[in-house]
Amino acid sequence: MTSDNKKAFIKGNHAVVEAALDAGCRFYAGYPITPQNEIPEFMSKRMPEVGGTFIQAESELISVNMVFGAVAAGARAMTTSSSPGISLMQEGISYMAGCELPGVLVNVMRGGPGLGNIQPSQSDYFQAVKPGHGDFRMITLAPSSIQEMYDLTFDAFDLADKYRNPVMILADGLLGQLMENVELKRDRKPLYLNTPKPWALTGAKGRDGQRILSLLMQPGVLEKHNFKLKEKYDLITKTEKRFELSGMENNPDYLIAAFGTVGRISKGTIRLLKQDGINTGLFRPITVWPYPYEALKEAAKNVKKIFVFEMNLGQMVEDVRLAVEDSSKIEFYGRPGGGVPTAEELYNFIKGKVG
């Protein structure tokens, strides 16, 4: 790899590593779990090359709490895992949210519940957009290509620092393993990387000691802190919603709502429908928290049906219901447990519903 912009033919897991390093991440802790193992493997080689710290943690509890420590000390830091490991990391995510710390996490989702399997899945939508214990939110970005694995991982570090909040990349085993051409943006400047972090613990030079904490025992103090966090979440909700909307120029009769891998597969489905003269739009949220409700509501206004496709039993569909006033227009089709739908399969589902 050179320091120039260049195209590379790499796996999604590899793209995450390159993006993190390009975004100024200099601390990584991770624990082996399929299908994200290439991330700690590549990281163990690449991180020392840029003078950062790689630690193979002894559990996901340890890796996420190491990220807590590294970001508390002012570094850009990341951990990665897959679904069962993310369950363990929820502890650290909640602490980072409470302490307003900017950690970055990547979830290369696999099938569940329990140990599940190692096939691609979107089974953790809930634990990303409704994370952990306590009353908090986590910015969650859902890539659907290897280029987006790179771009959104880079964005995650900027967003984390911008809002002092944990950010998760919600990928899946397919995106982790797939190889594609990626433009590595070596000259992209990370935002906020050099912005001072006066709250970070660097030693109390010339000042009193300061604290990073989420324990607020005095009556009313935690409530006040929660309201302060809400102001931040409201600002993020107002400012950071992102989505891809396509095919609306043809006044489509139908709309597909899908994120990540399924959003991408749906593009093939839309091409198949086009051959039958059926115009179908695509709504693909890129931020699944904050969810782009208004954009979906607008896109769904004049369609006869909204098809929601997921690799789970129906998780994002709950947000679609919140966005769309007439829930009777929603048709859901999901493949849980590591099932990956084909474009034809989704096409057949739609044809079965619309004749």
Min. distance of Cβ 29 from another protein in angstroms?
Answer: 7
Q: Which is nearer to another protein, 26 or 241 (CB)?
A: 26
Residue whose C-alpha is closest to residue 190's, from 154, 152, 147, 148: 154
- Helix (H, G, I), strand (E, B), or coil: what is residue 67? helix
12 touches another protein by CB under 8 A = no
Q: Compute φ and ψ for 297, nearest 5 degrees.
A: -60, -45
Piece of 74-82, 110-118, 227-235, 238-246 that binds another protein (CB under 8 A): 74-82
The span from the CA of 130 to the CA of 247, in Å, is: 30
- Helix (H, G, I), strand (E, B), or coil: what is residue 164? coil
65 touches another protein by CB under 8 A = yes
DSSP per-residue codes, 90-125: HHHHHHHHHHT---EEEEEEB--STT--SSB--TTH
Piece of 67-75, 187-195, 257-265, 315-323 that binds another protein (CB under 8 A): 67-75
Q: Which is nearer to another protein, 125 or 192 (CB)?
A: 192
Q: Which is nearer to another protein, 199 or 349 (CB)?
A: 199
246 touches another protein by CB under 8 A = no
91 touches another protein by CB under 8 A = yes
The span from the CA of 355 to the CA of 160, in Å, is: 46
Angle at 146 between CA 141 and CA 147, to 5 degrees: 80
Please pick, from the candidates 51, 196, 205, 275, the single residue that binds another protein as defined by CB under 8 A: 205
201 touches another protein by CB under 8 A = yes
Residue whose C-alpha is closest to residue 51's, from 71, 13, 24, 19: 24
69 touches another protein by CB under 8 A = yes
Q: Output Rg (C-alpha) for the chain, integer angstroms.
A: 21
53 touches another protein by CB under 8 A = yes
Please pick, from the candidates 3, 194, 195, 211, the single residue that binds another protein as defined by CB under 8 A: 211
Min. distance of Cβ 96 from another protein in angstroms?
Answer: 10
| Residues shown for the chain | 355
Please give the residue ranges that form the binding site for another protein (CB under 8 A). 26-27, 29, 53, 55, 57-59, 61-62, 65-70, 72-75, 77, 91-92, 95, 99, 201-206, 208-215
